[in-house]
Structure formats: structure tokens, C-alpha cells
Structure 1
Amino acid sequence: MTLFESPKFLVNQTGENLAELDRIIRDLFARYGGRRIVEVDPKTGDKIFKIVFGGELPTNTRHIVASAINDLRHALDQATCAAIEAITGNEPGLIYFPIAANPNDLEGRVGKFPPEIRDAFLGFQSYPTGEWYTGGNDLICDLSKAAQRKHRICCKIGGQVTRISGAGRADGGHISTRNGATAYLPPRWDITKNEMILGISGPEGHLNYDVDITFYVALYDAGPLTGAPAIASLSQLRTVVSDIVLSLEAETEHILCARS
């Protein structure tokens, strides 16, 4: 077993987990979609016109996304330890992949690393983008912050309006209302309530307009990644982490070969 086998395993396993998540999502959306309902406010009698998603996310989706975020963060730490152990020949101790506030902070954090490998870590620019300096890697910083919420990360159904049209027309030029109904334009999907309110009216009111919605599974309670499409975001993170792990492995091999 090589020192880099474990972080590479975590990256590859994340890919398999995301493929399973994609199958779950495709099956969910093949069976369910948006459903229009009218709710009556018990206090006022007002009618609330809504679209809700007709199905529920399987419980294992939460485990998959939380594991993906944690495994990718662990892969960075394990690759860091592997590089330092290989270069020094000693156990690295409590060493983590450096996440910094800015370039100066990053230079300070890698100051305790072997000199030969410091430039590699500086090149990853693992700090947020800022105004007074160039570079930065917001995605890696977002991953780190999300991993800090590992016991709370879950998924929600997200929705994006792709088209609005009035009753009987496709140009969006007419919204059918009656008796003081108010249409919410543009309507917005509420990720916390799993619904979209189209409008509201009094007890005798009426509202009718058509909305096309594209549904997706979004990360939730995941720090700065909250609301982001789960598959796309985690796949992008996996690619970034994989590149870092492989880069550290290659640089470590180069350093060891140069010594021999």
C-alpha cells in the first residue's frame, strides 16, 4: 500500500457514491414532479395557490452527500500527511491541508512543512479570493467550511422556474386572476418548505397561470454550499481534490527521485 493510496481511494469512492446519487435522483424525478394545490388559511379563509414537489428524497441521500464532503476533505488531509511523511521519513503528526485567510496566511501555515514541498502547497492558493491580492480557491474554502457541519449536512429539493405563461397562452402576456387575486411574479421556490407560492386570493378569488419548473437536489445546511446543486457541486469538488492529490503525489515522487 502506497502512502497516497488512501486519499486516492476516498476520491474514487466519492465518484462511485455520486454515481449512485445520480441514479437515485433520476429515478425520483422520473416518478415525481410538481403538483399544483390550493391551501386555505384557517384564520383568514384566504386561498394560497402553490406548487409542491410530489415525492420525498430517500433518506440515504443525506448520507451520500455528507460522506462525499467529509471524504473529500479527509483526502486533502491524508495527501498532505502522505507527502510530508514520504519526504521526511517521519510520522507527520497533526498536519492538515492548509486552508488560509489570504496568501500571507498561507505562507505562514506552510512554513512548518518541508521546504521542498512548500511551493506546491502555495500553488494551490487555498484561500478565498480577495480584493487586495490575486488568486484564491473559493471552492476548496467552501468545502472546508461545509465539512465543519458534517453532522448537519443534508439535501432538499430545489426548483428553478424556466418559463411562465398565462392560461391558454404561451407568450407569458396574460395572467388570469379574479376577485382581487394577487400573483407572485416571479414565483420563487422555497427550499425549506418544498413549495412555490404562485399567489394568494380571498375566499372567492381565483388565480391561474402556468409555470415550468426544473427540479434538482440541492445541498442544505452545508455552509456556503447550501442551495447548490448536489451532483454538479460535488462532482466539481471531486475534480479539484483529485487534481490536488495527484499533484502532491507527483511532486513528492519528483522530490524523492531528485535525492537519489
Structure 2
Amino acid sequence: MSVDLDALFAVPERTARFGREALDELDAILGDYFALTPYERVEEPDPESGGKFIKYVQRIPFPSNKVDRKGTEALLRLKDAFDQMAWASARALDSKIKDTDTVYFPWADSAEGVKARLSGKSGKIPPELWPTYLRLKPHCTGQTPPTGDDACRILANVANRKHSISLSIDVQKTQWSAPGPVVCKGVGDTIDLTPDIRRKSKKGEIVVALVPTETEFQNGDNLTVHITFNKPNPLHRANAPLLLRAFSAKAKGCLKVIKKDVAKLI
């Protein structure tokens, strides 16, 4: 049987590229937002302690709709690419596979689950390719926090909920630092970053410290934020662009391996 692998795999390769381009557009949206310096540093007296709060107040709203839409677009395109590469691999080795047939990438929660999928819902994938798919580890490994294969499996699971997918991305403070000398003329702790202080943040602001009134940061201070998932768990507060890029990288890597292994079998 003569098989044009380039033609078969052109569709998943294009769809995966669409996913990467959506992520590039997401990065551009975020870059444009932070270029506007949307957070203003504010010092505010604290009547209870006699000190002052250091906080950053959001003056420009986060473009949630644009970010959520572009993140969801990237996720769905990448999920489609995985299923399309599974179909292409099955069609290459089995001419009976029709254009209208659905072949699912064998995502599962464990290696044993992948085996069950390959003999069940993903059963149209020829047995000769099962070792390839198992080697690609389309399953969780139990790492905490979820990274790599775990995060990819979770994202695939989110994307598979076609009727209830809800990807929400937001800004989350991750680190605050004062890189230079801190002169404290008052009495008491120089910096207080207890959970009680952080809970004083209101919507649209990030309280980073409570310090004596006369405290001076001679070289200023820095706030670092990450763009994180608001939901669903267990990706809550995980770095959204980073994990979506990992999902994209896995799609690219799987495409390369599957196409190469199929070529050896035809």
C-alpha cells in the first residue's frame, strides 16, 4: 500500500501550528497589557499598627475576555491536533479507516489506563503502534505540583469536556522583593508578609508588606506576577502560559515520534 505520510500528517501539523500561533497571540496580548504599567505602587497608612502598607493597585483592568478566549483557542486547537495525529497514524497502517472515522489520542490517568484505551475507545490505532503511544506517556505521573506529562493530561481532560470547558486565566502575585538597602527609622519588624497581611488585599490590588512608617527602600522594590489558571483544579494558580506551551511542545514532539515510527512500519 502506497502511503503519502506528508499528506496524512499535514492536517495535525497545521492544527498544532494554529495552537502555537494562538499562544503567540496570547503572549502579545499580555505583553501589550503589562507595557501599559497597569499597577501603581501605593503607600497607605495602617491605623491599627501605626505603620504603612506597601501595595500595588490595578489602574488598568486585566483583559480577561481576550486572554481567556485566546487561551481556550490554543488549548482546543492543540487537543484537536492530538486526535488528528492519532487518526493519521491509524489511516497510514489501515486503509479501512475512513475520513469520517474518529480516532482518539489515548489520554489516560495511568500507563495501565493507556493500555485500556488502546484496546478500547482508541482501539482503531493499530497494535503495532501501541508501544509508540505508551512511550509517549499520555498519562499522569503523580508529580506535585502538576508539570510536564501531568499538566498535559489535565489540560487534555479539560479540553475533552466539550460542553463544559471553562478556561479562566488571571494575574497572581508570586514574589515581592526590595533589592537594595532598606532603612527603617521606626520601631518594630521591617517587613511583615504574614498571611494576615496578604488577606488585606482588596479586589484590584496586591498588598505586599506592612512596614514602619519611616521605612525607606533606597533602590525601590519589585513585584513579580505570573499569569495563572483561576480554574479548574488541580491547575489552580499554576502558570498558564508555561503549561500551555508545554502542551504545545508535547504535541510537536508526539507528532515527530509518531510520524517517524509509522514510516518504519509501512
Alignment of 1:97-246 (within 5 A): 97-111=105-119, 112=123, 113-130=125-142, 137-148=149-160, 151-164=165-178, 170-172=180-182, 174=184, 183-185=192-194, 188=198, 193-198=203-208, 211-246=221-256
Structure 1 match to 2:18 = 13
Q: Mark the CA change 1:222 to 1:6 in structure 2 (over 3 Å): closer, same or farther.
A: farther
Please give the alpha-carbon distance, in whole angstroms, between the structure 1 residues aligned to 2:113 and 2:237.
Answer: 29
Percentage identity across aligned positions?
22
Please give the alpha-carbon distance, in whole angstroms, between the structure 2 residues aligned to 1:172 and 1:11.
Answer: 49
Please give the alpha-carbon distance, in whole angstroms, between the structure 1 residues aligned to 2:185 and 2:254.
Answer: 52
Please give the alpha-carbon distance, in whole angstroms, between the structure 2 residues aligned to 1:148 and 1:192.
Answer: 35
Deviation at 1:239, TM superposition (A): 0.9
Q: TM-score, normalised by structure 1?
A: 0.74
Structure 2 match to 1:44 = none
SS at match of 1:137: helix
Code of the aligned partner of 1:64: K
Deviations 1:82-102 (A, max 9, x none): 211221112383431112222
Q: Name the one with the larger strand percent.
A: 1
2:44 matches 1:30: no
SS at match of 1:98: coil
Structure 1 match to 2:77 = 71
Please give the alpha-carbon distance, in whole angstroms, between the structure 2 residues aligned to 1:158 and 1:197.
Answer: 12
Q: Mark the CA change 1:234 to 1:175 in structure 2 (over 3 Å): closer, same or farther.
A: farther
Query: Please, which runs of 5 or more residues in structure 1 have no aligned partner?
Result: 42-46
Q: Mark the CA change 1:4 to 1:200 in structure 2 (over 3 Å): closer, same or farther.
A: same
Contact 2:173 2:223 (8 Å CA) reproduced = yes
Query: Please, which runs of 5 or more residues in structure 2 have no aligned partner?
Result: 1-5, 47-51
Deviation at 1:217, TM superposition (A): 2.5
Number of positions where the alignment pairs a residue of Structure 1 with one of Structure 2: 240
Deviation at 1:54, TM superposition (A): 2.7
2:258 matches 1:248: yes
Deviations 1:177-220 (A, max 9, x none): 79xxx94447659999443234679xxx9696764202333233
Structure 2 match to 1:60 = 66
Q: Mark the CA change 1:171 to 1:49 in structure 2 (over 3 Å): closer, same or farther.
A: closer
The alignment yields a C-alpha RMSD, in angstroms, of 3.8
SS at match of 1:8: helix
Please give the alpha-carbon distance, in whole angstroms, between the structure 1 residues aligned to 2:90 and 2:187.
Answer: 68
